[in-house]
């Protein structure tokens, strides 16, 4: 039992170490020309454009339900007018970044791990090496840059859609005054709220790309291995997103 615990602990640190090493190597290769623009654009399209629809649906419903819930709570002490404030702050500070991060890790992280994992087990990554091409440069850097640049855009989009969702429910279903709602939305919003949301977006983007690519690179066995790698990529990146989210909030707000 104790031996198993020790082994698991060593395994954990080994994996964490490998992820950090991959991150450092990715940074090094990012700054080594040339950049493969075609691959970066392809990945941005994949990470970004194809995620907009799911993020839209997700955000509008989060904004809507949050308005509904906070209205029924605030009503008890006649503070309904602050629904707009709480929806906007919650969306921009936490809900937008975290939920988008989780959604993208499930959608894009899983796909990255599965694609790279399949390439690993079918020797395509070995083939890249034999063609004198570094797999980190060719495969990880474009995914890393795409996630890094697209996540902030996705999260701003998510914030806006969530706020609109809250507005729609408050004004058209709960009969709040439209002007008051808008004013309350903007009155308490500070620039800091937005840029911390963006910092979170970048960090989450990095986590998703690096963790998923790492899992892909270390896939063993056939189809089963690819399945396991995909699951691990989503679980690890989701947990890391939630954990890092707490620390960013604690340090920066």
Q: Give the span between the Cα atoms of 108 and 249, in whole angstroms.
A: 25
What is the smallest separation between the CB atom of 34 and another protein, expressed in angstroms? 10
By beta-carbon proximity to another protein, the closer residue of 90 and 140 is 140
Q: Give the span between the Cα atoms of 114 and 109, in whole angstroms.
A: 9
Q: Give the span between the Cα atoms of 17 and 21, in whole angstroms.
A: 6
Instruction: Count CB atoms within 10 A of the CB of residue 81.
Output: 15
Tokens of 123: 């020797």
What is the smallest separation between the CB atom of 81 and another protein, expressed in angstroms? 53
What is the smallest separation between the CB atom of 211 and another protein, expressed in angstroms? 21
Burial class, 134, CB count within 10 angstroms (exposed 0-12 / middle 13-18 / buried 19+): middle
Instruction: List contacts with another protein (CB under 8 A).
Output: 115, 118-119, 122-124, 126-134
By beta-carbon proximity to another protein, the closer residue of 69 and 129 is 129
Q: Give the span between the Cα atoms of 208 and 212, in whole angstroms.
A: 6
By beta-carbon proximity to another protein, the closer residue of 1 and 132 is 132
191, 193, 199, 201: CA torsion to nearest 10: -120
By beta-carbon proximity to another protein, the closer residue of 123 and 187 is 123
By beta-carbon proximity to another protein, the closer residue of 100 and 118 is 118
Non-local (6+) Cβ contacts of 237 within 8 A are: 105, 109, 207, 208, 211, 212
What is the smallest separation between the CB atom of 134 and another protein, expressed in angstroms? 7
What is the smallest separation between the CB atom of 192 and another protein, expressed in angstroms? 42
What is the smallest separation between the CB atom of 104 and another protein, expressed in angstroms? 21
By beta-carbon proximity to another protein, the closer residue of 72 and 122 is 122
């Amino acid at each position: 039992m104790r031996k198993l615990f020790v082994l698991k602990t060593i395994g954990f640190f080994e994996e964490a170490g490998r992820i950090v090493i991959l991150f450092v190597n990715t940074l090094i290769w990012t700054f080594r020309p040339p950049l493969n623009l075609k691959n970066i654009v392809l990945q941005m399209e994949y990470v970004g454009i194809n995620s907009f629809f799911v993020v839209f649906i997700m955000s509008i419903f989060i904004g809507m339900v949050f308005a509904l819930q906070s209205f029924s709570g605030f009503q008890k002490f006649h503070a309904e007018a602050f629904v707009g404030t709480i929806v906007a702050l919650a969306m921009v500070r936490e809900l937008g970044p975290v939920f988008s991060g989780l959604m993208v890790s499930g959608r894009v992280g899983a796909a990255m791990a599965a694609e790279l994992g399949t390439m690993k087990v079918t020797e395509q990554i070995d083939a890249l090496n034999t063609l004198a091409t570094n797999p980190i440069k060719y495969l990880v850097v474009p995914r890393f840059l795409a996630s890094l640049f697209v996540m902030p855009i996705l999260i701003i989009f998510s914030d806006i859609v969530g706020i609109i969702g809250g507005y729609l429910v408050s004004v058209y279903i709960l009969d709040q005054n439209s002007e008051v709602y808008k004013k309350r939305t903007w009155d308490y919003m500070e620039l800091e709220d937005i840029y911390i949301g963006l910092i979170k977006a970048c960090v989450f983007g990095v986590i998703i790309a690096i963790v998923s690519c790492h899992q892909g690179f270390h896939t063993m066995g056939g189809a089963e291995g690819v399945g396991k790698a995909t699951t691990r990529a989503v679980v690890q990146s989701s947990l890391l997103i939630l954990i890092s989210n707490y620390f960013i909030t604690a340090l920066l707000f």
